[in-house]
Amino acid sequence: MPDVTANLNLGDGHGARTADELLPLVYDELRRLAAARLARESRDYTLQPTALVHEAWIRLGADHQPAWQNCAHFFAAAAEAMRRILIDAARRRHAVRHGGGLERVDAADAAQKVVAPAQDDELLAVHDSLDRLAAEDPRKAELVKLRYFAGLTLEEAAEALDVSVPTVKRDWAYARAWLFADIRDHGPR
Amino acid sequence: MSSSDPRKENLFAQALLLPEAEWPAFLDRECGQDSALRRRLEALLRAHHAAGEFMDTPAPGPQREAPVAGPEMPGTRIGRYKLLQKIGEGGCGVVWMAEQEEHVRRHVALKIIKLGMDTREVIARFEAERQALAMMDHPNIAKIFDAGSTDTGRPYFVMELVKGIKITEFCDRYNLTTAQRLELFVQVCHGVQHAHQKGIIHRDLKPSNVLVTLNDNVPVPKVIDFGIAKATTGRLTDRTLFTAFEQFMGTPAYMSPEQAELSAVDVDTRSDVYSLGVLLYELLTGRLPFDPKTLLQAGLDEIRRIIREVEPPRPSTHLSTLNAPDLAKVAQQRQTDPARLSLLLRGDLDWIVMRCLEKNRTRRYATTNALAADITRHIQHEPITARPASPLYRLRRFIRRHRVASAAIAAVAAALVLGTVISTWQAVRATRAEQRALEERAAAVAARNRADDLLKFMLGDLYVQLDKVGKIEVLDSVADKATAYLASLRPADQTDATQFSRARALRLQSAVRAAQGRSAEAFSSLTAAFDLAAKFSADHPASADALFERAQVEAQTSALYWSNSDYAAAVQWMMRYLDSAKALVAHDPSRRAWQLELFDAHFNLAYLHKDRGELEAARPELTAAVLVTDQLAASGPLDADLRGKLALVHQLLGNIADLEGNYPDAANHYGQQVAQLEKVLAADPKNAVTKEDLARARLYAMNANWITRHLEEADRQLALAQTAFAELLAVDGQNVDLRNGALTARLTRLGMTAYGGDPASALHDIDPVIAELEKANAHAPTDRLGTRLLALAWRLKAEFQLALKAGDAASSARRAVTLGDSLQGPNAPGTLEVYECAKDHLVLGQVLAQAGEADRVHAEWLRAHRLLAVRAAGSRDWHILDPYARALLLLGRSEEAGATIRHLAQLGYVPVQPWPAPGRSADFSSENSTHQKKP
């Protein structure tokens, strides 16, 4: 991926950038990765987010890439990028299911149906609620992104957030209950 | 919500370490007075508890979102084929023009399947059909040559290259007339038929698979892709099912209902007939049966539901819904004008198309040839074989499938009901004015556009109309469909109104079943009806409607027990009905309808008591009933309702006079009953119910006149009754009551003929009656009246044989006795059942005596005596006393017999048959019993 590397190199001279600034970069890379993988695979339609994120990390230079302060820095951007990708896809599927302007039933739409609606509903609900959690407790919201959208394990998330595994566990249980209660209070989408 | 709070988080984490049961105590201890904290923690803990699998699995990852083009390009070699140029791309694959390089050098079409299929399976399925596919050789079919897999592992198919365009496009581009389109379509049918004969089903017929090429300027349609749908949609399960559904069935508009079921196994040639029907629809109207946009926006389940359940509009109807410019364009593309096009489609072509589109494939054309033949017949102006689907059939399907009260479907169904009504009325030769009135009424119903209105119509007006017409099988259908429909409603759709309708439908269903002699089923419907009605009226104590429905169920339950000879239960339910009727009157004393209910309750109770021979109990109820009629007569007109009630009063008074031996009075009352009913019928000559009531009244009048020796009047009433029953049966042949009534009249006629001096002709005529009764008895062995009539018929036959000394009187009499005995037992038998049975035994005794089997004669006399003795004490009913006296005489108990005979004489009773000579109790001989002489 020469252009990405060029971009990253460009950032070299300006020192470390924030995860937010890096987001578009990671976003594009993840999308490209996903598309390439999907083109290769003939049977599996659904890719594992965690595999994509890890591959993107390698491809974008990993530890050798000075644009990233560290792995955590990257994962923060990657998790947010992944979240946007997944939400976009879920919204498209949602629209398809509810008759939103679909003109043709073809292979693309067929693939949209692979994910069960229940999973999409959860995805979209968590997405909405997550911004509210972030307002109250950014660290836990970050954890949710890493765990839920980027598919990181507890250990990986602990490393990325630079906290202990028991803390991550505790935070996860709390965040999960918080989101569940919040979604219940605000009703489903 | 408060912002991040370490204390709260700590407490939450600590609580999670505790068992759930200890949470309240823990929170009490830790939160103290901080109720906000406590509430928040409780909410979180509850959420934690309820969250289940929430977020346990990470969000699903990205999925394939666009078909990925294959790596093939012009020049690529696939097997022995070289790709030349891409000529098409569809949902399921890319089609290339390719050059075959081995064996023969030719251009072929090579279709590469796009998406992730199990290539090996596809090829294997193709191989399974390869032999058959190779045998296909028809000018209207593109041959399939080969199949294989590309280097990238995707399946491909090689077939005859067809340089043509979609049939729909071709027809529109060249403005083909309807006739020209039909000719092309018939060729398509022939091609498909050829494949069907080789055992190959296409499964995916649609315009893009039917191409038209020009051969020397002659258009030739060719069906392509045979064998591909089959190979690519083999065994499908679960998830793959859904993707495959859309990948390979591209557009669902042409898919048959059974294919929409996704049971790919169960697809046969008739699925192709369906798809051809859709194609024909499109060729004729330029539109699809179901709007493809609506279909595709509906979502998968809804698409399937539409295909499986929704009846598409007929082609001509569909055209009429187009706006003027669209319609003009459609017509112009067929070189005609809108009016003519519509006229052209209406009738044959509508029916042909709709027969292809039947949801149930057994109703479609069985073969493509049959379809082609019908079209050819249409072109040649011969009658077609497609017949309109019967309205009842469609109504039935509507009721079964329809779950949501949708306005559109309700309107359709109302139209169907209209069809039913009209055909029914035509069946009974309704006058034009009546038809018009009914059509207007049904049109009004259709306009109301709501399912519950439809239902009310079905159970109300329609039911009443049909009831009057007297077609029990139609009533049966309406009641069954309504019941099934109401039962199928989801709980969310169950309202008070639907519950109420359901009780009503069940009750009507029970009535119909009872009338058909289906006693057990009648009981089960009625029990369900009562549960609903009782609950409904308990829930709505102030509702007179609820109470009324409950009262109806009670009355009907009583009647059902009554007809099953469970008099105790019948009386009990009739008392309940009386209570409900009184409550109705209390609700609104001025309302005539409630007064009539009260009359019915009193009257029916009186009738029940009378039927059990309890005249003392009957009298006060009858008096109360008469009081109601007096009040009604004083406060309102002497209308049909009131005349009907008065007729009933006279009937019962006549019955009682009968029982009391007051025969002239009885004849008088029956005469008045007949007179009232004649007036009611004159005002409403088509009312089958009144007609039946009158026929029965005539039977009573006949009886009374017979006994009082007014033979001419008896003869006249019987003749009128026979005519009426025959007319009623001609319309409503399934009605058991009517049949029994008619057979009673016929048997009576035979008895009169025999007693009038011509037993030979009576004997000759009785066999067909017996045959009919035996058949009915085999069909409904529990129908007591049927059994009694059958016993009577056999006994009459035995008597005729005895009088003529011809035939096997003994076996006739034995059959009568067997049947008569079967009606005795724990269920208190009615007077007539006892009377008839005693007579059976008396006749068998006479037959045995004549045959010289003296040792067995006595037992028969005794049996008859025993049956009657219980009821004879204090009785004034000749039905009991006449045979009782005979039994006593035959048993040699002359003194007791003499007293009974004198008693009867005092009552004015003249025996139809002379009294037998007294027997000797000690030494009973056959001579003594051969008393029988012709009257």
Residue B313 phi/psi, 5-degree rounding, is: -70, 150
Show the tokens assigned to B92: 């399921």
- Alpha carbon B710 to its chain centroid, in Å, reads 47
Q: Is B471 part of any domain?
A: no
Chain B residues with beta carbon closer than 8 angstroms to that of A149:
58-59
Q: Is B880 part of any domain?
A: yes
- The nearest CA of chain A is from the CA of B368 a distance in Å of 29
From the list A15, A10, A50, the residue with the least C-alpha distance to A30 is A50
From the list B423, B398, B561, the residue with the least C-alpha distance to B482 is B398
Residue B16 has its nearest CB partner, among A173, A178, A179, at A173
Q: Of B335, B363, B389, which residue is a domain's last?
A: B389
Contact criterion met (CB < 8 Å) for A108 and B66:
yes
- Answer yes or no: do B179 and B233 share one domain: yes
Q: Of B335, B361, B389, which residue is a domain's last?
A: B389
CA distance B412 to B429: 25
Residue B62 phi/psi, 5-degree rounding, is: -65, 150
Contact criterion met (CB < 8 Å) for A108 and B65:
yes
DSSP, res B460: I
- Answer yes or no: do B277 and B313 share one domain: yes
- The nearest CA of chain A is from the CA of B451 a distance in Å of 26
Element (H, E) at B361: none
Contact criterion met (CB < 8 Å) for A107 and B299:
no
Identify the closest residue of chain B to A184 by CA–CA distance: B47
CA distance A122 to B803: 93
- Non-local (6+) Cβ contacts of B159 within 8 A are B108, B109, B111, B142, B143, B144, B145, B224, B225
From the list B518, B528, B576, B571, the residue with the least C-alpha distance to B551 is B576
Element (H, E) at B155: strand B155-160
B204 catalytic per annotation: yes
- The nearest CA of chain A is from the CA of B47 a distance in Å of 5
Question: Of how many residues is chain B composed?
Answer: 935
CA distance A184 to A176: 12
Show the tokens assigned to B110: 């090579």
What would you report as the CA-atom Rg of chain B, rounded to the nearest whole angstrom? 40
Contact criterion met (CB < 8 Å) for A136 and B246:
no
Extract the residue ranges of chain B whose pLDDT is less than 70: 1-4, 60-71, 89-93, 114-122, 125, 152-153, 229-252, 261-266, 293, 295-301, 381-495, 497-498, 515-517, 565, 734, 826-828, 919-935
pTM: 0.41
Q: How many helices (H) and strands (E) does chain B have?
A: 42, 9
Per-residue pLDDT, B475: 56
Chain B residues with beta carbon closer than 8 angstroms to that of A182:
1
Q: How many Cβ atoms are within 10 Å of A103's Cβ, its own excluded?
A: 10
CA distance A148 to B217: 65
Per-residue pLDDT, B171: 93
Q: Is B920 part of any domain?
A: yes
Q: Of B389, B423, B451, which residue is a domain's last?
A: B389
Contact criterion met (CB < 8 Å) for A89 and B65:
yes
Strand partners, B165: B212
Contact criterion met (CB < 8 Å) for A38 and B67:
no
- Answer yes or no: do B229 and B359 share one domain: yes
Chain A residues with beta carbon closer than 8 angstroms to that of B65:
38, 89, 92, 108, 111-112
Q: How many Cβ atoms are within 10 Å of B54's Cβ, its own excluded?
A: 17
Domain that holds residue B182: 165-389
A187 or A128, which is more confident: A128
- Alpha carbon B48 to its chain centroid, in Å, reads 53
Q: How many Cβ atoms are within 10 Å of A99's Cβ, its own excluded?
A: 14
Per-residue pLDDT, B464: 53
DSSP, res B77: E
Reduced to 3 states, what is the DSSP secondary structure of residue B78?
strand
Q: How many domains does chain A have?
A: 1
Strand partners, B148: B156
Residue B58 has its nearest CB partner, among A45, A147, A182, at A147
Which position among B204, B374, B476, B665 bears the catalytic label? B204
Angle at B756 between CA B752 and CA B760, to 5 degrees: 90
pLDDT band at A13 (very low <50, low <70, confident <90, very high): very low
- The nearest CA of chain B is from the CA of A116 a distance in Å of 9
- Answer yes or no: do B148 and B187 share one domain: no
Chain A residues with beta carbon closer than 8 angstroms to that of B154:
42
- Answer yes or no: do B102 and B178 share one domain: no
Per-residue pLDDT, B331: 93
Q: Computed from CA positions of residues B764, B768, B771, B772, in that sequence, does the dihedral angle turn out positive or negative?
A: negative
Residue carrying structure tokens 């059990």: B612
- The nearest CA of chain A is from the CA of B27 a distance in Å of 16
- CA distances in angstroms from B821 to B341, B766, B818, B831, B870, listed in the order given: 72, 22, 5, 14, 16
- Non-local (6+) Cβ contacts of A52 within 8 A are A30, A33, A34, A37, A82, B61, B62
Chain B residues with beta carbon closer than 8 angstroms to that of A140:
4
CA distance B452 to B454: 5
Per-residue pLDDT, B888: 92
Element (H, E) at B708: none
Q: Computed from CA positions of residues B722, B724, B728, B730, in that sequence, does the dihedral angle turn out positive or negative?
A: positive
Q: How many Cβ atoms are within 10 Å of B461's Cβ, its own excluded?
A: 15
Q: Is A170's pLDDT higher than 70?
A: yes
Q: Is B450 part of any domain?
A: no
CA distance A151 to A67: 23
Cβ contacts below 8 Å, chain A against chain B, sum to 169
Chain B residues with beta carbon closer than 8 angstroms to that of A113:
242-243, 246, 300
- Answer yes or no: do B125 and B178 share one domain: no
DSSP, res B63: B
Per-residue pLDDT, A96: 55
CA distance B675 to B334: 68
- The nearest CA of chain B is from the CA of A19 a distance in Å of 21
Q: Is A9's pLDDT higher than 70?
A: no
What would you report as the CA-atom Rg of chain A, rounded to the nearest whole angstrom? 17
- Alpha carbon B38 to its chain centroid, in Å, reads 62
Q: How many domains does chain B have?
A: 4
Contact criterion met (CB < 8 Å) for B12 and A174:
yes
Is the ipTM here above 0.90? Answer: no
Reduced to 3 states, what is the DSSP secondary structure of residue B595?
helix
Long-range contacts of B549-553 (CB under 8 A, 24+ apart): B549/B500, B549/B503, B549/B504, B549/B507, B550/B580, B551/B577, B551/B580, B551/B581, B551/B584, B551/B597, B552/B507, B553/B503, B553/B507, B553/B526, B553/B529
- Answer yes or no: do B147 and B254 share one domain: no
Per-residue pLDDT, B813: 93
Per-residue pLDDT, B76: 83
Residue A110 has its nearest CB partner, among B47, B247, B251, at B247
- DSSP codes joined into one string, B401-456: H--S--HHHHHHHHHHHHHHHHHHHHHTT--HHHHHHHHHHHHHHHHH--HHHHHH
Residue B629 phi/psi, 5-degree rounding, is: -65, -35
CA distance B372 to B362: 17
Reduced to 3 states, what is the DSSP secondary structure of residue B202?
coil
Q: Is B793 part of any domain?
A: no
Contact criterion met (CB < 8 Å) for B116 and A42:
yes
Question: Of how many residues is chain A composed?
Answer: 189
Angle at B763 between CA B760 and CA B768, to 5 degrees: 140
Residue A176 has its nearest CB partner, among B55, B154, B246, at B55
Yes or no: say if A174 and A121 are a contact pair by the CB < 8 Å rule: no
From the list B385, B452, B397, B447, the residue with the least C-alpha distance to B418 is B447
Per-residue pLDDT, A102: 36
Query: Inter-axis angle of helices B407-427 and B432-448, to 10 degrees?
Result: 170
Yes or no: say if B112 and B104 are a contact pair by the CB < 8 Å rule: no
If DSSP states are collapsed to H, E and C, what string results for chain A?
A: CHHHHHHHHHHHCCCCCCHHHHHHHHHHHHHHHHHHHHHHCCCCCECCHHHHHHHHHHHCCHHHCCCCCCHHHHHHHHHHHHHHHHHHHHHHHHHHHCCCCCCCCCHHHHHHCCCCHHHHHHHHHHHHHHHHHHHHCHHHHHHHHHHHHCCCCHHHHHHHHCCCHHHHHHHHHHHHHHHHHHHHHHCCC
From the list B303, B808, B475, the residue with the least C-alpha distance to A113 is B303
- Answer yes or no: do B221 and B291 share one domain: yes
Chain B residues with beta carbon closer than 8 angstroms to that of A34:
61-62
- Answer yes or no: do B263 and B340 share one domain: yes
Q: Is B458 part of any domain?
A: no
Per-residue pLDDT, B440: 55
Residue A181 has its nearest CB partner, among B9, B47, B58, at B47
Task: Count the alpha carbons within 13 Å of B175 in the hemisphere toward its beta carbon.
Answer: 8
Reduced to 3 states, what is the DSSP secondary structure of residue B829?
coil
Q: Is B209 part of any domain?
A: yes
Q: Is B93 part of any domain?
A: yes
- Answer yes or no: do B222 and B333 share one domain: yes
- Answer yes or no: do B186 and B263 share one domain: yes
Residue A47 has its nearest CB partner, among B62, B239, B247, at B62
CA distance B680 to B687: 9
Chain B residues with beta carbon closer than 8 angstroms to that of A115:
60, 63
Domain that holds residue A136: 2-186
- The nearest CA of chain A is from the CA of B7 a distance in Å of 12
CA distance B603 to B619: 10
Identify the closest residue of chain A to B297 by CA–CA distance: A99
Residue B100 belongs to domain with CATH number: 3.30.200.20
Contact criterion met (CB < 8 Å) for A137 and B12:
no
Contact criterion met (CB < 8 Å) for A136 and B3:
yes
- Answer yes or no: do B257 and B187 share one domain: yes
